[in-house]
Structure 1
Amino acid sequence: MKNRKHLLRAATATAVVLGVTGLSACGAAKTNASGSSDTVTIVVPSWVGAEANAAVAKYVLENELDTKVKLTQLDESVAFDALNSGKADAILEDWGGAPKKVELYVDDKKSIVSAGDLGVTGHIGWFIPKYLAEQHPDITDYKNLNKYSSLFKTAESGDKGQLLEGSPSYTTNDNALIKNLKLDLKTVYAGSEAAQITQIRENYKAKKPFITYWWTPQWLNSQIDLVEVKLPDYKEGCDSDPAKVDCGYADTPLQKFLGADFAEDNKDAAEFLKNFSWTNDQQNEVASMIADKKMSADEAAEKWVKANPDVWKAWLPK
């Protein structure tokens, strides 16, 4: 697995209100004498794309495999600890933000096993609205950002331009990039994915200049037109020292992981989760139903599952 030290997107308001539960000692799958699981505990990182994964997996597990599912919201590093201890069973979207935990639990202790690619490729970068790029065509190269940094000044950023972030709990390279590329920018945190989206939408509607840390897949990209700022090309190892990062972010095939005991004792559920694979567009479709159309996660999952039997039936254990 590639060393991907990129994103841990932080809490959206939807993850809290849509029924993601806290983890308890009784949250792990309980195996009965027949080797089947009463409950599968799936970790949900706190952004809506990950919520979409978990909701669809939950719906199919409960309605097709007669397996109860508990969802629990945990940050990426803590999620690996939970799988190692048996307090959770599956992570369906890992962006590579905890490489040391992967090395410890997957490679060394073997208490966690890889469940393969999610099928979704993530990418992080800095983005500006298209209308701004059309006004200043050279602004899309980081080398020219200082010339335009005054356009991005806010009360929060002082005499520097604001680089809008989501939450302080994100794992990003942006402060190092600003320092090492000598840019007149300052990271300013909206506080969550939902708050960041609100600010982006307000700025976009008002045609204000802004630059933001952003990513794909992300459902909002179908509604607004953003242009990526070219950062120095990513090369393997260029982000190995967090303090010296001076390159952009790599494309990241998102990964799934299972607790080793769960994978061994609950073969049907584990096989289903290993087979679970969909596209960026499919994830965005469900995420948009949750975050934009304000459907519950369960309602969005049911609607998508009923409309796409040819996709999810291929995930079922043989």
Structure 2
Amino acid sequence: MKILAICLLAALPLYAQQKTSNPLDALPKNIEILTHFGERADISPDNKRIAFMDKSFGDAFVLDLATRTIRCLTCNVPGAAFLRIMHLSNGDYILIGARKFTDIITSRTRDNELWYLSQKPGSKPVPFGVKLSEGAALSKHSLKISFSELPAQFPELGKGNSRLVVADVDLSGPTPKLTNRKVVYESHTEMCDLEAQDFYDNDKKMTFTCYQHSNVKPNADEYATVHGIDLTTGKTVDFTQSKETYNECEGIFPDGKYTFVEGDRHEDQDGGRRGSHNIDLYKLKLDGTGKDFVRLTHFNDYAGWKASNPVVSTDGKFAAFQVAHTADVAGVGYGLLIMHF
């Protein structure tokens, strides 16, 4: 009987017991709290400031890392409904969001637009008149931008289709516009909804995520894989080499050899539900093997918590990310943190 019991126990998965405390009370020495509110941080090209959103469909702010002072960038816009703010290489900003808030789904998908915001104090956002899906990739060296288009913004694409677009931000005229627009990659399956992420190798290559929203198993909300594309040849590579885990690339290291990944691979031991709700931050080597995968945060070891949306400084000395709750949709955050390398 004892032998049978031992065999049965050995056959069971070793699910980890989540902690019930707050991960912010037990941070490792290389991580510090930056703010107690906000989400979707983005580091300035000179690494002196961090722009971020106060909330989804809200206002954009910027924090000076030397003084820790915070300044609102869009509080002069009544009813602002922005979702993201990112730095252009010249220090100006790209905003992403709707012209007005309708509802969570419509405003985040169908009505999602690109905006330009000058870094000059008092400036107001100017729309490009360009719709996109989710976020964008911005070059650290030029005014190059990439984003994806899905049927939610362009119904003529048809169900299951998406495409990656690369263009240049032209600020030479009286109003900003996109020039040299080019579709660089197309997907024709619901097994890969596209989202651009980061340029690297002097803008010759770019990382992107494939989201698999259909045909997932009962214990998964969705799967995702990390990919790269050579913008000259069009050749792509699957960096994840795993079809049944969640891997969303977020923030590339300046050498272009590694990227941050929002991943759920720890659920192999924890036994939780797969997808963007149960994630932590990993570091993935972009060598195409998918084997060099290192976990960097352990927020999801705590019940109800996760870490998400990391970005890396251009000098590679630190990263910014957010603390988030597993019950919320992707992108929602409750404060920014810095990870020192």
TM over 0.5: no
Q: TM-score, normalised by structure 2?
A: 0.24
More strand by share: 2
Structure with the larger RCO, 1 or 2 (CA within 8 Å, 6+ apart): 1
